[in-house]
Amino acid sequence: MKKYFAVIIALIGLAVIIFITRPAPDRTSQTPQTFPSSTEGLPEAVMPQVVRLQGGDTFELRAFPVKKTIAGKEVRLLSYNGSIPGPILVAPQGSEVTINLKNEIGIPTTLHSHGVRLDNAFDGVPGVTQKEIAHGETFTYKVRFPDAGVFWYHPHMREDYSQELGMYGNYLISPLSDDFWLKADEEIPLFFDDLLLGENGLEPFYTDHVDRTLMGRFGNVMFTNGSTEYSTNVAKGSVVRFFMTNSSNTRVYNLSIPGVKLKLVGADGGKYEREQFVDSIILAPSERAIVEVLFNKPGSYRIMHTGPQANYVMGKIDVADTPGTPSPEKAAKFEAVGTNEDVIKDIDSFRLYFNKPADKRIAFTIDMMGMMQGGSMMNMMSSDGHNDHSHGAMMGAVSAGIEWEDHMPEMNRLSTDEYPSWKIVDQDSGKQNMDIVWNFKKGDVVKVSVFNDPNSMHPMQHPLHFHGQRFLILSRNGVRTTNFVWKDTALIQAGETVELLVDMSNPGTWMAHCHIAEHLHSGMMFGFNVEE
Ligand SMILES: [Cu+2]
């Protein structure tokens, strides 16, 4: 054990030395250009609108820069329709709406409707499903919503910059049946995000390259719904349903509201099979959680992000001591833990596939210098290392599965989309990243085994997102999931082997990728086709 640990430490040390002494990347341009940071003439960011759409409606979405004061500094951010987050688009399940996106952010963009099983042509992947939208141009998206729950939209170009600066918004898709959710007094969407501020405002972003690709850009200022001091008021006795989304580039949150019970009822693609009370919720970039809370006692409640190294107050909820409407009946309904027979029934037709062997096996790793390429790391991976528990234990000592903070800020800052190279490796074909193209037929149910190599040069978590489809997380390190929910993103911790069962129901040419924006730009993506 100690020997392995020493070897890992030595390898990391060697990588650091090579990294620091490496020749500067050949960038023929003199000084790297940064994106504009001036706020002159920009409108002030406004509060997001709630927009109720019906099937067939058309909505105009305009992306443009705004200014906002954060921690005493006025900074230039990017908005949809002037707000951060963008408008909350509420639409009925089964509807299709038209969204005209006008791009005025100064660089090309697209709109990706995350988790929405829409027509492939409107998935927003530049060069795959559409031509990029140049500054000044408009693209028309037809977005259909087969599933109820919380989804979101964001760009699929330079996410590290444009999504980071505020380009994200929710779709709240209301269910067809009235009894899909518990009757709540309020529904509140919450976007959790962070921003990296330096002495002179936002830390710069470069036009010609993506930086901080090693760990992703961690912020040092926390944001809930675009505010560093988010607060909301609810009436005493209210049941509130929170729709939580993590729009951070890389930060994972561990969320709780001390003093009240959290009832976890849903995630990315709708409801869980069974509701459950939880102490906290781990939310990786792009994941969603649907949580119900009964506020029966007056007071000021904090939304906390509690990490192993630091705690953050993400916002507060004030419950006034006014005569609200606490009712024993409502409390009893909230306390009851429901079973969702509709979800169980929907998943029933997939259970026969749970125990089949994996159809596809991928591994996450990193090439920090090409030094390990084809060498010991590949051998470790192919020697069935994903079943070797000693690797997991070693990972525990080195990285503890999740990187909660940027513990190597200087090294992270110096990493770019050119170097190092993050990799998704197809363990059967040996292909990597965009060389991987899987072919399926509509209706295929595909088991994908994902191994996150704890012995790589930089073991860390990766949230894996599949476009256009839904999947179940079958197991983690061989332990079967006991309460299923449809997902579009799975957090794969360092050292974990996670089995996914993907319902390939939506034809088209799609992407799967790590949702850490900087990792995506470092290459962590691949393609798959679903034939009609
Ligand atoms: Cu990643």
Hey, how many other C-beta atoms are within 10 angstroms of the C-beta on 435?
13
Phi and psi dihedrals of 381, rounded to 5?
Answer: -70, -40
The answer to whether 315 and 240 have CB atoms below 8 angstroms apart is no
pLDDT the model gives residue 327: 81
Residue 138: partners with Cβ closer than 8 Å, 6 or more residues away: 100, 101, 102, 103
pLDDT of residue 328: 86
Distance 412 CA to ligand 1 centre (A): 14
- What pLDDT score does 2 carry? 47
Q: How far is the CA of 114 from the centre of ligand 1 (A)?
A: 17
Residues measured by CB to lie within 5 Å of ligand 1, the ion = 462, 514, 516, 519
Q: How close is the Cα of 279 to the center of ligand 1, in Å?
A: 27
Are the C-beta atoms of residues 48 and 87 closer than 8 Å to each other?
A: yes
User: Reduced to 3 states, what is the DSSP secondary structure of residue 318?
Assistant: strand
Q: What is the DSSP string of 455-479?
A: TSSS---EEEEESS-EEEEEEETTE
Taking the centre of ligand 1 as the mean of its atom positions, its distance from the CA of residue 425, in whole angstroms, is 13
First to last CA, the chain: 51
Strand 197-198 to 253-256 pairing: unpaired
Ligand 1 centroid–CA 467 distance in Å is: 16
The reported pLDDT for the residue numbered 144 is 98
User: 44 alpha carbon to ligand 1 midpoint, in Å?
Assistant: 34
How far does Cα 184 stand from its chain's mean position? 26
Between the CA of 384 and the centroid of ligand 1 the distance, in Å, is 22
Reading phi first (left if > 0) and then psi (alpha if -120 to 50, else beta), residue 9 is in alpha
Tens digit of each residue's pLDDT, the chain (532 residues):
444 554 455 455 545 445 544 544 444 446 789 999 999 999 999 999 999 999 999 999 999 999 999 989 999 999 999 999 999 999 999 999 999 999 999 999 999 999 999 999 999 999 999 999 999 999 999 999 999 999 999 999 999 999 999 999 999 999 999 999 999 999 999 999 999 999 889 999 999 999 999 999 999 999 999 999 999 999 999 999 999 999 999 999 999 999 999 999 999 999 999 999 999 999 999 999 999 999 999 999 999 999 999 999 999 999 988 766 668 888 899 999 999 999 999 999 999 999 999 999 999 999 886 423 333 333 333 332 333 333 332 233 334 699 999 999 998 998 998 888 999 999 999 999 999 999 999 999 999 999 999 999 999 999 999 999 999 999 999 999 999 999 999 999 999 999 999 999 999 999 999 999 999 999 999 999 999 9
Q: What share of the chain is helix, strand, coil (3-state, %, to 5)?
A: 15, 40, 45
Distance of CA 463 from the midpoint of ligand 1 (Å): 6
Q: What is the pLDDT of residue 390?
A: 32
Span from the CA of 368 to the centroid of ligand 1 (angstroms): 14
Q: How far is the CA of 379 from the centre of ligand 1 (A)?
A: 22
Q: Which two tokens stand for residue 94?
A: 């089964």
Query: What pLDDT score was predicted for residue 28?
Result: 47
Q: How far is the CA of 316 from the centre of ligand 1 (A)?
A: 31
Using the mean position of ligand 1's atoms as its centre, give its distance from the Cα of residue 492 in Å.
9
Long-range Cβ contact pairs of 353-360 (< 8 A, separation 24 or more) = 353/445, 353/447, 353/501, 354/474, 354/480, 354/501, 356/447, 357/447, 358/447, 358/448, 358/449, 358/499, 359/446, 359/447, 359/448, 360/426, 360/428, 360/438, 360/446, 360/447, 360/448, 360/449
Using the mean position of ligand 1's atoms as its centre, give its distance from the Cα of residue 104 in Å: 29
CA 260 / ligand 1 centre spacing (Å)? 33
In this prediction the pTM is 0.89
Distance 39 CA to ligand 1 centre (A): 32
In angstroms, what is the span from residue 520 Cα to ligand 1's centroid?
7
38 C-alpha to ligand 1 centroid (Å):
31
